[in-house]
Amino acid sequence: MDRAQRCAFIIFGITGDLGARKLLPALYALHRNGRLHPETAIIGYARSDHTDGSLRAKLEKSLERFVPDFDRKSWAHLAPRIHYIRGGYADAAGFATLHNHLKGTGLESRILYTATPPEVYESIALGIVGVGLNRSEGFTRLVIEKPFGTDLESARELNRTLLQCFNEEQLYRIDHYLAKETAQNLAVLRFANTLFEPIWSNRSVDNIQITMAEPMGMEGRGEFYEQAGVIRDVFQNHLLQLVALIAMEPPSNYDATSVRNEKVKVFDAMAPLKPDRAVLGQYVASNGMPGYREEKGVAPDSRQATFAAVHFDILNWRWSGVPFFVRSGKRLEGKASQIVLQFKVPPHIPFTLDRDLKPDRLILRLVPNEGITIRFNGKVPGQGIDLDRISLNFSYGSRFNRPIPDAYETLLLDVMLGDATLFMRADEVESQWRVVMPLIDHLDLELEEPHFYSAGSLGPKAAYTMLTEQGRHWYRPWD
Ligand code: NDP
C-alpha cells in the first residue's frame, strides 16, 4: 500500500465548493486509510476572513455533510495540521506570508493546488514564482483544476505561462474523469487480457458508440453553461479521453510518459472534424421540464448546444474505416455512460435463416451498474437452426463488494506520490482542443439554429439520421 510522501499541501481557494465537497473529504479519507504521511501540513489560502479555528470548524461541517462515515476521533488528529493564510491571488504580501509559514513548518516538499475559478490560475502561478516558492530542496508540484482554457489559444497561453514558471514534470492538469475507477477498468480490460486485443480493430469492429446521457438540466448553472456548452463541458475533455482509452495502442508501461504518448497519437490521428459530421442540439420544454432558453442565466434566443452527436474518424492502421460515434447531452431520457463496440456480421453465413443476423456487441457500461455485457447469437433448442440473442453479463458491483474511492482521493495521492499518469500533459490538452475547435468555431458563427429536442428524449432526430444514412443505428444505453 503506497503512502504519500511528507509534504505541505497548499490549497488556493480553500473556502470554495471544491475544497469542501472534494478536496478535504479526499485528504481526510487518505488520512483515515493511513495513506497520508502523518507530518503532512494542509494550508488553506484564500481572501475570506478566517482564522485557523474558523476554517477548521467550517471544514468539519462540510466533512460531516459529505463523508458518510465521518469519524470525529480521526478528524481530531488531522484538524490541528490545517492552517489558514489570508491573501489575494495577485497579492505579493499574501504569497510572502505563505512562504514564511512554509519555512516555519520545515517541510521542503510542497503541492500547490488551484481550487479557484480559472481566471486566477495564471496569477497564482506567477505569485508562487514571485516569492520563490517554486524552488526548494524537496519537490514542488502545481495542480491545475479544470477547465484548462476555453479554446486552443487560451489553453496554449496558459501552458506558456505555466511552463515559464515550472517544468512540465511539476504540472498536474486535472481531468478527474480519468481517475474514475471506470476509466482505469477500461485500461485493465484491454491490456491485462489477450481475449480482446485480436478483435480490437477495423478487422472485426464495424463502429464504436460512446454515449454520456444526463437527465438534469442547468441546476442553476445556466450562466456557466452559456459560455461552455456541451463541447467544452464534456467533449473536449472526458469524452475525448474515453475515445483515446478505447483507441490507443497498448503502452509499453502504464506510466505517465508511455500512456500519454499513446493518447496523443490518437488525437493526432483524428481526421479534422467537419461541422457536417456533427449534430448540435438544444432541449425544448417537454414532459413538465423547461427548455434550455427558459433556464435561469440563459439568453432567450441562445444557440448554445446542450447536445452533440459527433462522428470521429481515426486515420491509422487499426481504426481506418471504423466510425467513432460520440453523443452527449443534457435533459436526456436518463443517466448513462456507455461504450458499445459493434462488430461486423460474419462474411459468410452457412445457415438458412428467416431473419437478418444481428451483429455481436461488446457493451462497456460505466454508469449505471458498471460492468460488461457481451451480446451474441445462439441457437434456440430444437430441430433446425433458429437463432436468438444471448447476453453474458458482468457487474463490478456484485463481483467486488467494496467501496470505490472517489476520483479525487486517487488523484491527490498520485500527486503526492509523483505519479502523473492520470493527469494531462501540455500537448495532450492542446491536441484535445485542436480536435474540437472546428465545432466551437462553427457554434461561435451562430449561422443556424441548433436541432431542437424534447426534454426527456434521447436527442434530436438528426442524430439518428446521421447513423441511419450510413445503414447503422444508435443503441439505447439501457437496453
Ligand atoms: P468557487 O467559485 O467556489 O471558488 C473557490 C474560491 O475561489 C472561492 O471560495 C473564493 O475564495 C475564490 N474565488 C471565487 N471567485 C473568484 C474570483 N472571481 N476571483 C478570485 N477568486 C475567486 O469554485 P469551486 O470551488 O466550485 O471550483 C474551483 C475550481 O475547481 C474551478 O476551476 C472549477 O471549475 C473546478 N472544479 C470544481 C468542481 C466542484 O465540484 N466544485 C468539480 C470539478 C472542477 P475567496 O473569496 O475566499 O478568496
Consecutive H or E run containing 462? helix 461-468
Whether 21 lines ligand 1, by a CB cut-off of 6 Å, is yes
What is the C-alpha end-to-end distance of the chain, expressed in Å?
39
What is the number of the ligand 1 atom nearest to the C-alpha of 17?
Answer: 25
Whether 22 lines ligand 1, by a CB cut-off of 6 Å, is yes
pLDDT on residue 182: 79
What is the number of the ligand 1 atom nearest to the C-alpha of 21?
Answer: 40
CA of 111 to the centre of ligand 1 (A): 18
Half-sphere exposure of 381 (CA within 13 A, CB side): 0
pLDDT on residue 16: 97
pLDDT on residue 444: 86
213 — pLDDT class (breaks 50, 70, 90): very high
> Which of 10, 14, 18, when mutated, tests ligand 1's pocket best, judged by the most ligand atoms within 8 Å of its CB?
18
Is 438 a residue whose pLDDT tops 80? yes
368: preceding bond cis by omega (within 30 degrees): yes
Amino acid at 29: A
Q: Which residues pair with 390 in a beta bridge?
A: 376
- The per-residue pLDDT for range 375-390, each reduced to its tens digit, is 999 999 999 899 999 9
403 — pLDDT class (breaks 50, 70, 90): confident
Contact yes or no for 11/110 (Cβ under 8 A): no
Determine how β-strand 324-329 pairs with β-strand 307-312.
antiparallel
Any alpha helices (H) in 131-255, and if so which ranges?
Answer: 152-165, 181-191, 222-230, 240-247
Whether 13 lines ligand 1, by a CB cut-off of 6 Å, is yes
The whole model's pTM is what?
A: 0.94
CA of 270 to the centre of ligand 1 (A): 34
Any alpha helices (H) in 331-425, and if so which ranges?
Answer: 396-399, 407-417
Would you say the C-alpha torsion 299, 302, 305, 306 has a positive or negative sign? positive
DSSP 8-state secondary structure symbol assigned to residue 377: E
Is 1 a residue whose pLDDT tops 70? no
What is the number of the ligand 1 atom nearest to the C-alpha of 50?
Answer: 47
Dist CA 375 CA 360 (whole Å): 6
Q: Kindly report the average pLDDT of the chain as a whole number.
A: 95
CA of 223 to the centre of ligand 1 (A): 15
DSSP 8-state secondary structure symbol assigned to residue 457: B
| Atom 41 of ligand 1: nearest residue by CA position | 18
Q: Which three cell numbers stand for residue 427?
A: 500537448
Q: Which residues pair with 111 in a beta bridge?
A: 9, 141
Our answer to whether residue 83 is catalytic in this structure is no
Whether 107 lines ligand 1, by a CB cut-off of 6 Å, is no
pLDDT on residue 179: 85
Q: Is 53 exposed, middle or buried (0-12, 13-18, 19+ CB in 10 A)?
A: exposed
Q: Which three cell numbers stand for residue 430?
A: 492542446
CA of 19 to the centre of ligand 1 (A): 8
| Atom 11 of ligand 1: nearest residue by CA position | 13
Q: What percent of the chain has pLDDT over 70?
A: 100
397 — pLDDT class (breaks 50, 70, 90): confident
Consecutive H or E run containing 29? helix 24-32
Three-class HEC string of 178-198: HHCHHHHHHHHHHHCCCCCHH
Dist CA 39 CA 433 (whole Å): 40
Catalytic pick among 238, 311, 442, 451: 238
pLDDT on residue 177: 83
What is the number of the ligand 1 atom nearest to the C-alpha of 118?
Answer: 32
CA of 327 to the centre of ligand 1 (A): 29
